[in-house]
Structure 1
């Protein structure tokens, strides 16, 4: 009797299962590893149509390799960025592709986009359901941009919108089908009420704050039933106005607020929630305050947290609250667990093991054992960005450099490094920057030092230099040298900073 001796292999899996595997892999692995395994896989990666491309942090080399390897019709999510690590990336991308080629694109993120490029992308109708963007300049330069934004908002395909402009003058049509709106800005109550009155399907609303003036009238008889999630990321509201606002959303299931000491009354929160927010399942908050005198008695701190330890908080809702008091500044923070993500809290609370960005300032002697101490409350392997400000004018220079080098070697997932000291020589920078770092921001005394760093640190994908004094008079010659030395580099010079996305080395 014949037997089948074929050994099961990934190469013989149905293409549908291969697609599921590709869903879990990053694009570089799919295009430059998986696709080169065999001819069948090479064919499959060109028919796979669920690519999610993010060019936010990428070398110029891989950017061009990916752009020349993908089929635009297979992309469903795209992130482009003109940040300091990748200046002029969006314009470069649009020189290769027309946005009309991305017929399956559903999610688009544009970081620091120029208004002209924004118009280029959105001059045609699209089927994007998720859009996030920030503009390169803080104020709009083209009067037509507001009209374009209003038309984008009214697009019936759009369900998710995240932007950082003031919503002033934007038109919010009641035909809009947005379900999630994130505005990294502060609104007045008129703007706030206009949005929630017109966006009839809005379920999640995130903003910095809502300003309520004395003459604003809040009609608590009106109810906005669709909204189930509301967030204020940096609120200056007082408790009275906050309570009035929350009365408008009786079906709220999630509320997030970061604010000041107006909100420390746990008994009042308990009463408000039991009366007006019966559906609330998740309450995330962080309230920061300052004492006029030094607290030395733990009872003072206990008095803040006691109202949040009633059976309502602990047993019924199972919402747990922590209070941190900082003796050196007399600041205190009351926050829910798990801690809500906010810059206001990260700057004051040291107990984090999954920080991805760290800033260090060392003025005098590097403290003995400080690296080991850091590792007790920070997982050093999670750090992706590091900023170091060091004083190299005293007798502790060698000690500092030794300890910084030791620290950098332990940050083996570090991608971005910032060194702030105008007296740091190019040779010291060369010695400090490890090979796994891809993005460097620093300041050097002159143009020759800039050239030296670019020539020596060839593993860097991008560099930002601070330009000061007479250096700006030599920039034109430097940029000519750059284009000859690193082919197809792009750069942006603004606010005394020169950012370069480095191209191929010209051998």
Structure 2
């Protein structure tokens, strides 16, 4: 069977399995029928400019992109080592985001120029269907005015539902600079930027519709006395490096939590203590994924500590009522012994030896 013998409906279905750039490179100008399908009927292009060659990018911008700007639903722009200066070249072709009228998702990778980044973010206000924004490894200047401008421009996007921010930043001012209310953001992921419980409380104040949160809370003594502000959070993915009182404050903020993925460092809690905490603060919890990294006391027998810890998780609360099964590994570093306790199954994102 020849590809051209397939009905148009089947071809359009097959197109959905292609990345937008691969699709255009494979079928553009093959014949008039395929051009008609590409430019008049296919409506869900996903264009990812990462790893594209300069020649392919120029060719696409000159001959293909002007005809499909209103058919692109997802766009990724990158300025990393593989695509240097791509945003500037993209803008030089007179492409502005307001032309991408059906765009639903925008991803911005490694854009170091604040002028380019702010220009693109500002243009997002002209996108009536934009619900998802991702910013990864980009502008990393700690100037507060710049950060405040960016974060409040994002928070003012009227239809934005999911914002993903992954910056390797020493700045801890991102969340604290929010001063614009967003009633649309429901899912927020913040990686590699440490925040305090006060930052999280401030976030809840300006993001009242937030239901899913992924973040990293770092130790801060003031967090143990911060007033509790409850939120609408249903799902939490948290990397936590602070004290047990602060952790309980976090849980008090989220009484309706039903899904928790938690990584802790420096906290040692037995199964009995976890049971008391979960029953007191998170009575609606259904999904619990835990990775607890800690150090065994070197003043006591490590083998006895290990067995006692494991035994504390072998009761009806863990095994029968919730079916949360626990494994613990002991790692020796000279005379020190570190433990990693985690629920099963668990997918580690880094190699642990």
Question: When the two structures are superposed, what TM-score results if normalisation uses the length of structure 1?
Answer: 0.60
Structure 2 partner of 1:405: none
Aligned with residue 46 of structure 1, among 23, 39, 50: 39
Aligned with residue 88 of structure 1, among 85, 89, 92: 85
Structure 2 partner of 1:207: 215
User: Aligned-pair distance for 1:153?
Assistant: 0.8
User: Aligned-pair distance for 1:332?
Assistant: 2.4
Aligned with residue 73 of structure 1, among 56, 63, 70: 70
- Measure the CA separation in 2 of the matches of 1:228 and 1:53: 32
State the Cα deviation string for residues 427-454 of structure 1 (Å, max 9, x = none): xxxxxxxxxxxxxxxxxxxxxxxxxxxx
Seen in structure 2, the aligned counterparts of structure 1 residues 61 and 270 have a Cα distance that, compared at 3 Å, is: farther
User: Aligned-pair distance for 1:81?
Assistant: 1.7
- Measure the CA separation in 1 of the matches of 2:85 and 2:348: 30
Q: Does the 8 Å contact 1:172/1:199 carry over to 2? A: no
- Measure the CA separation in 2 of the matches of 1:28 and 1:148: 30
Aligned with residue 278 of structure 2, among 273, 276, 288: 273
- Measure the CA separation in 1 of the matches of 2:206 and 2:196: 16
- Measure the CA separation in 1 of the matches of 2:107 and 2:259: 25
Structure 1 partner of 2:151: 149
- Measure the CA separation in 2 of the matches of 1:310 and 1:145: 49
Q: Please give the secondary structure, in 2, of the residue aligned with 1:205.
A: strand
Q: Please give the secondary structure, in 2, of the residue aligned with 1:150.
A: helix
Structure 1 partner of 2:16: 23
User: Aligned-pair distance for 1:98?
Assistant: 2.4
User: Aligned-pair distance for 1:112?
Assistant: 1.9
Q: Does the 8 Å contact 1:287/1:334 carry over to 2? A: yes
1:189 paired with 2:188, answer: no
Structure 2 partner of 1:348: 352
- Measure the CA separation in 2 of the matches of 1:272 and 1:297: 25
Seen in structure 2, the aligned counterparts of structure 1 residues 169 and 261 have a Cα distance that, compared at 3 Å, is: closer
Structure 2 partner of 1:383: none
Seen in structure 2, the aligned counterparts of structure 1 residues 9 and 186 have a Cα distance that, compared at 3 Å, is: closer
- Measure the CA separation in 2 of the matches of 1:347 and 1:78: 32
User: Aligned-pair distance for 1:32?
Assistant: 2.5
Structure 2 partner of 1:122: 121
> After TM superposition, where is structure 1 displaced by more than 6 Å over at least 4 residues in a row?
7-10, 294-297
- Measure the CA separation in 1 of the matches of 2:86 and 2:328: 44
Q: Does the 8 Å contact 2:257/2:284 carry over to 1? A: yes
State the Cα deviation string for residues 191-247 of structure 1 (Å, max 9, x = none): 211111231110011111154424753445x532x21011222x2122222112202
Q: Please give the secondary structure, in 2, of the residue aligned with 1:45.
A: helix
Q: Please give the secondary structure, in 1, of the residue aligned with 2:323.
A: coil
Seen in structure 2, the aligned counterparts of structure 1 residues 23 and 80 have a Cα distance that, compared at 3 Å, is: same
Q: Does the 8 Å contact 2:260/2:289 carry over to 1? A: yes
Seen in structure 2, the aligned counterparts of structure 1 residues 297 and 288 have a Cα distance that, compared at 3 Å, is: closer
User: Aligned-pair distance for 1:317?
Assistant: 1.4
Q: Please give the secondary structure, in 2, of the residue aligned with 1:143.
A: helix
User: Aligned-pair distance for 1:108?
Assistant: 0.9
User: Aligned-pair distance for 1:44?
Assistant: 0.8
Q: Alpha carbon RMSD of aligned pairs, Å?
A: 3.0
Structure 2 partner of 1:313: 318
Q: Please give the secondary structure, in 2, of the residue aligned with 1:92.
A: helix
Structure 2 partner of 1:335: 342
Q: Does the 8 Å contact 1:321/1:335 carry over to 2? A: yes
Q: Does the 8 Å contact 2:20/2:46 carry over to 1? A: yes
Within a 5 Å distance, the mapping from 1:300-449 to structure 2 comes to 300-328=305-333, 330-342=337-349, 346-349=350-353
Q: Does the 8 Å contact 1:115/1:145 carry over to 2? A: no
Seen in structure 2, the aligned counterparts of structure 1 residues 334 and 64 have a Cα distance that, compared at 3 Å, is: farther
Seen in structure 2, the aligned counterparts of structure 1 residues 263 and 84 have a Cα distance that, compared at 3 Å, is: farther
- Measure the CA separation in 2 of the matches of 1:183 and 1:104: 26
Q: Please give the secondary structure, in 1, of the residue aligned with 2:177.
A: coil
Q: Please give the secondary structure, in 1, of the residue aligned with 2:283.
A: coil
- Measure the CA separation in 2 of the matches of 1:131 and 1:238: 32
Q: Which has the larger radius of gyration?
A: 1
Q: Does the 8 Å contact 1:238/1:263 carry over to 2? A: no
Q: Does the 8 Å contact 1:218/1:245 carry over to 2? A: no
- Measure the CA separation in 1 of the matches of 2:183 and 2:218: 22
Structure 2 partner of 1:232: 238
Seen in structure 2, the aligned counterparts of structure 1 residues 332 and 144 have a Cα distance that, compared at 3 Å, is: closer
